[in-house]
Amino acid sequence: MGEVQSQTSHVFEPGLTRNDYIAKSGGTTQKADRKRIYVVRANGDVLSGSGTGWFRRSHSVEIRPGDTIVVPLDTERVRALPLWQAVTTIVYNLAIGFILVHQYL
């Protein structure tokens, strides 16, 4: 569930990895936070990719029947258009303020 192309359930197949199930759902979207994918077990336990470097466990977590793989939205990504709209608005307002101050001094 989450930022995958097709959110759906799959029949459990022993031996498939987390990434195999994500691939069966069409892969992740462009807005997915691939570094924070986690697995919710049927009993409520949450397994995240909290390890770093060589010791990351998230790719090798054993998937069990009833598990849910969650691909979260990357909220830290800023889209280019709103960013540039904000920047140009600020620059425009600064320029108008500068012109007005110098015009009346």
For residues 28 and 6, is the Cβ–Cβ distance under 8 A?
Answer: no
How many alpha carbons lie under 13 Å from residue 27 in its C-beta half-sphere?
Answer: 3
H helices then E strands: how many in the chain?
Answer: 2, 3
pLDDT in tens, 91-101: 999 999 888 88
Residue with tokens 């060589």: 54
Per domain, the residue ranges of the chain are: 1-74, 78-105
pLDDT in tens, 24-76: 999 999 989 999 999 999 899 999 865 444 444 555 688 999 999 999 988 77
**Range of lowest pLDDT (5-9, 57-61, 101-105):** 57-61
Amino acid residing at 56: R
Q: Which CATH number fits domain 1-74: 1.10.287.1080, 3.10.560.10, 3.30.310.50, 3.20.20.120?
A: 3.10.560.10
Q: For position 53, what pLDDT does the model report?
A: 47
**Has this prediction a pTM greater than 0.75?**
no
